[in-house]
Copies of this chain bind each other. A is one copy, B any other.
Amino acid sequence: MNIREYLEQKREAVDRFLEEVIPDAKTPPTTLHESIRYSLFAGGKRVRPILAIAAAEAIGPLVPATLPIASSLELIHTYSLIHDDLPAMDNDDYRRGKLTNHKVYGEAMAILAGDALLTLAFELCSRRDLLDGLAPARQVQLIYELAVGSGNLGMVGGQVLDIQAENRDIDLVTLQNIHKHKTGMLIRAAVRMGAIVADATDEQLGRLTGYAEDIGLAFQIADDVLNVTGTREELGKNANTDAQRGKKTYPTFYGVDGAKALADQVRDRAIAHLDGFGPSAAPLREIARYITARRN
């Protein structure tokens, strides 16, 4: 299979869906919707929705509910970026080569756009019109997965740990704990939600969860490496910012080459979780390879 083509095709499907489902910039309050759209359509790669879709495909034929459920993950991801970039948090001026939300719309609007996106994710997952055909009990389970993955014991908890670790001399276990929560838990939720929409058995869900935890880790190590080796053009934001902030990352502990080797090792372990799956899991395998080989 051609993974680039696959990613492009799924990304377009997610973009088309989001374009349709998110209020346009003429809907009052217009500035809020403009601000939401500014960040949501800033060229994101839609990694989390695509992981959900690929996990669903690994289980069986896609059902109509897959795309809405998958897209809700991008709403959560985008809100987290907007809040993360705020002056009180990481204080970033650029994201994906564009000014960050608060630089364009002001801090108050950026906080509210993030709050609205977070809420919209749950609104989307609780709609019956778009999720017709999905059993309500499954729908409740999906909402629970999304909440746990993104909340106090998931992504938000990870952001807290991350902030607390800044300029402190953390050890490797702490670093792993930060990433397990900050990026890992939402990636885990993405894969699990895709599997749940597709009616995975408990055994399948267990294997896919193992896959998700490993690619979450591989993704983060690769991200840390890119922060060191990438250029501003490749990254769409300033390079080597982690070191400048005195932030400990995987390259700090393993060196750049060591971190790269570790990412490859974790990637292979991720793929091994898919042993019981046939060719329908090809996209998940290729995504694992793609993540550790990417340049941006």
Contact = CB atoms under 8 A, between A and B. Distances in A.
A196 to B, nearest CB: 12
B160 A109 contact: yes
A144 B141 CA distance: 14
A255 interface: no
Interface of A: 23, 28-29, 31-33, 36, 79, 83, 86, 88-89, 106-109, 111-112, 114-116, 118-120, 122-123, 125-128, 135-137, 139-141, 143-144, 146-148, 150-153, 156-157, 159-161, 163-164
Given A31-B160, A86-B111, 6 more contacts: A33-B152, A115-B118, A118-B119, A120-B152, A126-B140, A136-B137
A119 B155 CA distance: 10
Nearest to A90: B108
Contacts of A31: 160, 164
Report how many copies the assembly holds: 2
Given A126-B140, A147-B122, A116 B32 contact: no
Contacts of A127: 144
B122 A152 contact: no
Contacts of A135: 136
A131 B91 CA distance: 40
Contacts of A143: 122, 125-126, 140, 143
6 pairs of A and B residues whose beta carbons are closest in the complex: A88-B107, A123-B147, A119-B151, A136-B136, A126-B144, A126-B143
17 contacts: A23-B153, A29-B157, A29-B164, A32-B152, A79-B115, A83-B111, A108-B163, A109-B160, A112-B159, A116-B152, A119-B147, A120-B147, A122-B146, A122-B147, A123-B147, A126-B141, A136-B139
Nearest to A146: B122
Nearest to A33: B152
Nearest to A137: B136
A84 B26 CA distance: 25
A106 to B, nearest CB: 7
Contacts of A161: 29
A118 B28 CA distance: 22
Nearest to A36: B152
Nearest to A163: B108
B156 A112 contact: yes
Nearest to A22: B152
Contacts of A107: 88
Contact of A115 (B33, B83, B148): B83
